[in-house]
Amino acid sequence: MTKTSMDAHRPDSPSNSAAGPRFSIVLPCHNGSTYLRDSLARLKEYLEAARGVLGDHELIFVDDGSTDGSAELVSREFPEIRVLRHPGNLGKGAAVRTGMRAAQGRFSFFLDADVPYGLEVLARMLDYLDRKEFHACVGTRARGSSTTLAKRSRARKVASVVFTAFVSRLVVTGIRDTQCGFKGFRSEISKFLFAESRIDDFAFDVEILYLAFKNDLDIKRIPVRLERDDDSSVSLLRHAPRMLLSILRIPLRYYAGVYEPLEHRWDEPA
């Protein structure tokens, strides 16, 4: 994708600020107590080992109305992680929005709290966002990238193919895997996108990508390695009707002028 004239290096942008951590990772979660101890320990170990390459970071855990003590577990066993809570279950989109709007890093990522992807791709994403000045990096799960993929039911595979075909042809063209739970943004971009987003359920990824395309942002698609796929909280068979309805409303909102263009945001007086 060709670089746009919207310069992500505005002098007053967070990406040029020396204050705060280099990047933030937002971890949305609903009832994850069975896997959080392991997944967060692996994430923390990787980030500490790679600190010399990646730089300073902050972790933000957003508890989306869990009833299994997830937030208490994180606060107790990982006191260095910032914990934000929703009083009830609002949806993954709402949880990611809460975390991304609270993030203080120059670059902001969200990652599924079970940390199902190989983390080595984080350095590559940061390079594209920082040195190569892309506005966003989105993970794309390669077909057959994990043995766990073979364990998916036929119904789930069919539902996934149908959903992907619908979204990629009618709403967000050019991105095959809109639902990958590993995406990163320059902080001023994430603040804009998540301030404009309206969807609280699992269809929020599509809305974010739609807004990014409509604002001519530079998006880098990066293959990610799926290592674990045993705790997905989304079932396309169960959630697809609501998700499709949410997705159909996105272009209607856009052409009705509900979403504010990014250029208007940057044209605001200081």
Per-residue pLDDT, 167? 75
Tell me, yes or no, whether 264 lies in a domain: no
Tell me, yes or no, whether 263 lies in a domain: no
Two tokens, residue 221: 């698609």
3-state secondary structure the chain: CCCCCCCCCCCCCHHHCCCCCCEEEEEEECCCCCCHHHHHHHHHHHHHHCHHHHCCEEEEEEEECCCCCHHHHHHHHCCCCEEEEECCCCCHHHHHHHHHHHCCCCEEEEECCCCCECCCHHHHHHHHHHCCCCCEEEEEECCCCCHHHHHCCHHHHHHHHHHHHHHHHHCCCCCCCCCCCEEEEEHHHHHHHHHHCCCCCCCHHHHHHHHHHHCCCCEEEEEECECCCCCCCCCHHHHHHHHHHHHHHHHHHHHCCCCCCHHHHHHCCC
Tell me, yes or no, whether 1 lies in a domain: no
Q: Which of 172, 60, 49, 176 is nearest to 108 (CA)?
A: 60
Instruction: Give the mean pLDDT per block of 10 residues along the chain (270 residues).
Output: 41 51 98 97 98 97 98 98 98 98 98 97 98 96 54 60 68 79 97 97 93 95 85 60 87 95 63
**Whether the Cβ atoms of residue 228 and residue 148 lie closer than 8 Å to each other:** yes
CATH number of the structural domain spanning residue 167: 3.90.550.10
Tell me, yes or no, whether 222 lies in a domain: yes
Tell me, yes or no, whether 151 lies in a domain: yes
Q: Which of 136, 127, 160 is nearest to 239 (CA)?
A: 160
Tell me, yes or no, whether 7 lies in a domain: no
What's this model's pTM, rounded to 2 decimal places? 0.85
Structural domain span for residue 60 = 18-258
Tell me, yes or no, whether 12 lies in a domain: no
d(CA 55, CA 47): 9
Tell me, yes or no, whether 13 lies in a domain: no
The total number of structural domains that make up the chain? 1
Two tokens, residue 246: 């949410």
Per-residue pLDDT, 153? 59
